Structure 1
Amino acid sequence: MLYFRLARGYRPADLGRWLLTATAAALVAALLLRALGRALGEPSVSSLPRLLWCLPPLAAVGWFAAVAARAVPAARPERINGLTAAGAGPVRIRLLVAGEIALACTLGSALALLLFLVLRNDIADPSLAADLGMGSPLPAAAPITLLVLVPLVAGVSAACAVPLGDPLPTGREHPAPTGFGPLRLALPTGLLVTGTALELYGLRPGASVDGRPVSLPGGLGDTGVAALVGWALAALGLALLTAPLLALTGRLLALGRPTPLRLLAGRGLTAEASRIGTPLAVLGLTGAAVLAAFRYWIGRPGSSETLTSVEGLLVVACALAALLVRAAEVRSARRDVSSTLLRLGAAPGLLIGAAALRVLAAGTVLLLTGGLTAVLAAGALA
């Protein structure tokens, strides 16, 4: 009953976040049910690889659920204040937010199950018979067990999004600019340099005869162990460098004797680097991997797999949605600062220009890190 009362006060942003969560959960549930249908229709073939292919989109949904749950208190501080006044403590508030996310995933999973059962009722196209396991009895416990995974992963991720020892975000916090010292820069730089050198070593002429190639799933061909491990290390290093590059870009914007526009944009980007850096790094990494895979499939017609393409697009969509939710959280956190600046006489156009400049700078960092990741991935798949 509490969730229905909360839903009555939903704003468009709240409704959009809820619908995105339910849609992502429905798609992952459909992938799990497809794996189940294949296992029923082809019992002689191992179903473990099909279930393992469902882990990346399941992890993407869990990541998006964590980001969405983290943004709820920041976007709706009046709701948190009301629950606190009613006697709810930090643990109970987190559980309520996690329950809201899990409820959305449950409804999405139930919709996918309903569609799966309807299609199995001899109304599906014959080409879908193998994916639905038509002609084979459906154990009742199997789909229920699989579909419980989606709200369970999303709920646990949402509950763990904010540590219990930290105060709940209420949209009134303004984090100080985060510094990235030499130690925090040494590890990702070392990973990038080591991974790039290892990949170049694995792509040298005659490297294919030095070791047994690794057969990649999804019709992506074969690659060497050194090239694959090198790309993984370099991609991880670029992902870890995203937040420091954002902070460095913010400092460069405010360098010297900046104008008010550059000062606001630079200081704001530096302060938000640690919060925006993680979802931006995830988006750059997943987007680069998907772009490299599509480039490989385009160069070799007939090698692509529909399921792999759908899962890749779902992972990128979850990463993009998480970035948008985190951006909305940051915007809510800066609401008081913007109001104060407007009361002091700042022009609205100045704040809009500063926000646009921050977006442009963040997009430049994303193109840099994501582009390098995509180039290295294309080299490993060559």
Structure 2
Amino acid sequence: MLTLRLTFAAPPLALLLRLLLLCASTGIGLLLLATLSYALDHPEDRATALLRLLWCTVPLAVTAQLAAALGRTEPRAEARSGLDAAGLGPAGLPLLVARTTAAPSVTGSALALLVTARGIGAAGGVGGSALGPALPGTSAALPLSGQPLPAPAALTLLSIVPLLAALAAAWGARAAVPGATAGPDESWASTASRALLRSSRTPSIEPTAEQRDGTGAPGRAGLLCGTVLAIGGLLLAAVAARSAASGEAARSGAVGDSAASGGWTVRAEDIAASPLAAGWLLAAFGLLLAGPGLTALSGRLLGSVRPGPVRLLAGRSLVREAAFLGRPLGGLSAVGAALVALARARLSGNGPLAPGPLVVLAGVLTGCCMAGAVLAALARARSARAPLRELLDRIGAPGRLGRAVTLLRAAVTAVVFTALAMTAGLLTALPPH
């Protein structure tokens, strides 16, 4: 009952995140069941079936990140304090958050099972015809076999998403208990007050700011490792694309030995197992890892060289929020880089082979989950800036100061990560068509 009350009384952002989680669970359930169906239809091709199952871990990872973001933002601070006063301590709150997060995931998995069974019934199989009328066009959109799926295997695959979402939400709720967030808020208020009082005579950010915000050495290490991984992934994709192009040229030529082809054959089923796809994935992981360090670096550069109050407050807030805001922004920039690369390929007329429905579904799920994680991080950043707004109100600062800080911070973040996505998308190598 408490889980239902918290679910129905949630704010609009939490309801939106739960809706995204439900849709993501449904989509991942369809991907997993389609992989199981392929394995049943091709029992001799175990390597391809295993590869399809491994690629399902990418939307699974972003769904877990969305569930962790939901666990950090829900329940609200007022509800957390009330639950803590009612006797639900730090150990009981993650369990409650896990239950409230697992509810939409279980619903999405049940919808995936229902849609899959009706799709099999539409295809003329014997396993799904008893579940009701077939959905129009389902059998054409889903690559399902006519034979019924084994119930133990299907239920095992569908239980992965709710279990992973519950664990991720519980893990996210551990760092958001009331006792754990009081310290950083107080330190941020004191930091903001010192920054505002010393803005007229402090030429740059204090040397001990890195130790206070906790994003100094870890942020620099993440930025360095992410940059190296992103560059390495782009280079690996470029080498793989060049090797594939030379291999296709050697195969299509009338002269030359056919065994001299050093590249892999460019087909739709070969791209997922190629070094090109490995380079794409490595570059995306590098962008995700470099997000917090890049956000902190932008804040430090914004608050350097004799900053005024607006620049100083905007820079320090970016440094403060880099730990939880940078990673979703880095993931969203990876999705943007993929869209830029696809648009560049379509405009140049040398685009890759048309992706199938499962690839499109996985891409849409990844983008939506990353957008939801960014929205949750922005809501958390807004709540973390509440002491600064109260401080500005107490000292009688004009309202345009807070608006200028917000606009400057948003503009710098948008410019930095848009440039990152554009650069990565323009440098991404694509397979020859």
TM class, shorter-length: 0.7 to 0.9
Which of 156, 167, 180 does residue 145 from structure 1 map onto?
Answer: 156
Matched, 1:51 2:53: yes
Q: CA deviation at 1:148?
A: 0.9
State the TM-score, normalizing by the size of structure 2: 0.74
Contact 1:214/1:223, CA 8 A, preserved across alignment = no
Q: Secondary structure at the match of 1:173?
A: helix
**Aligned in 2, Cα 1:166/1:103: closer, same or farther, shift over 3 Å?**
closer
Contact 1:296/1:381, CA 8 A, preserved across alignment = no
- Bigger radius of gyration among the two: 2
Residue number in structure 2 paired with 1:331: 382
Matched, 1:71 2:73: yes
Q: Secondary structure at the match of 1:299?
A: coil
1:98-120 Cα shifts (integer Å, max 9, x gaps): 11111111112222323333442
The within-5 A match list for 1:105-254 is 105-119=105-119, 120=121, 121=129, 123-125=134-136, 128=139, 131=142, 133=144, 135-161=146-172, 169-170=180-181, 173-174=184-185, 176-181=212-217, 186-191=224-229, 208=246, 212-214=262-264, 218=268, 225=275, 236-254=285-303
State the TM-score, normalizing by the size of structure 1: 0.82
Residue number in structure 2 paired with 1:367: 418
**Aligned in 2, Cα 1:137/1:116: closer, same or farther, shift over 3 Å?**
closer
Residue number in structure 2 paired with 1:83: 83
Quote the Cα distance in structure 1 between the aligned partners of 2:412 and 2:141: 48
**Aligned in 2, Cα 1:91/1:361: closer, same or farther, shift over 3 Å?**
same
Q: CA deviation at 1:2?
A: 1.3
Residue number in structure 1 paired with 2:254: none
**Aligned in 2, Cα 1:183/1:127: closer, same or farther, shift over 3 Å?**
closer
Q: Secondary structure at the match of 1:161?
A: helix
Worse-superposed segment, 207-216 or 319-328: 207-216
1:303-345 Cα shifts (integer Å, max 9, x gaps): 3323212211211111111011111111112223212312322
1:260-309 Cα shifts (integer Å, max 9, x gaps): 32222222112112221111112222332354356446634753323212
Matched, 1:24 2:24: yes
Q: Secondary structure at the match of 2:91?
A: helix
Unmatched tracts of structure 2, length 5 or more: 122-128, 189-211, 248-259
Q: CA deviation at 1:22?
A: 1.4
Matched, 1:314 2:325: no
Worse-superposed segment, 290-299 or 81-90: 290-299
Worse-superposed segment, 322-331 or 249-258: 249-258
Q: Secondary structure at the match of 1:107?
A: helix
Residue number in structure 1 paired with 2:309: 260
For these two proteins, the number of residue pairs brought into alignment is 379
Q: CA deviation at 1:236?
A: 4.6
1:146-170 Cα shifts (integer Å, max 9, x gaps): 2111101111122223557987555
Worse-superposed segment, 80-89 or 34-43: 34-43
**Aligned in 2, Cα 1:380/1:188: closer, same or farther, shift over 3 Å?**
farther
Unmatched tracts of structure 1, length 5 or more: none
Worse-superposed segment, 243-252 or 21-30: 243-252
Contact 2:223/2:294, CA 8 A, preserved across alignment = no
Residue number in structure 1 paired with 2:405: 354
Cα-Cα RMSD: 3.7
Quote the Cα distance in structure 2 between the aligned partners of 1:5 and 1:148: 24
Matched, 1:9 2:9: yes
Quote the Cα distance in structure 1 between the aligned partners of 2:157 and 2:312: 51
Quote the Cα distance in structure 2 between the aligned partners of 1:261 and 1:24: 39
Q: CA deviation at 1:178?
A: 4.2
Q: CA deviation at 1:88?
A: 1.7
Q: What percent identity do the matched residue pairs reach?
A: 36
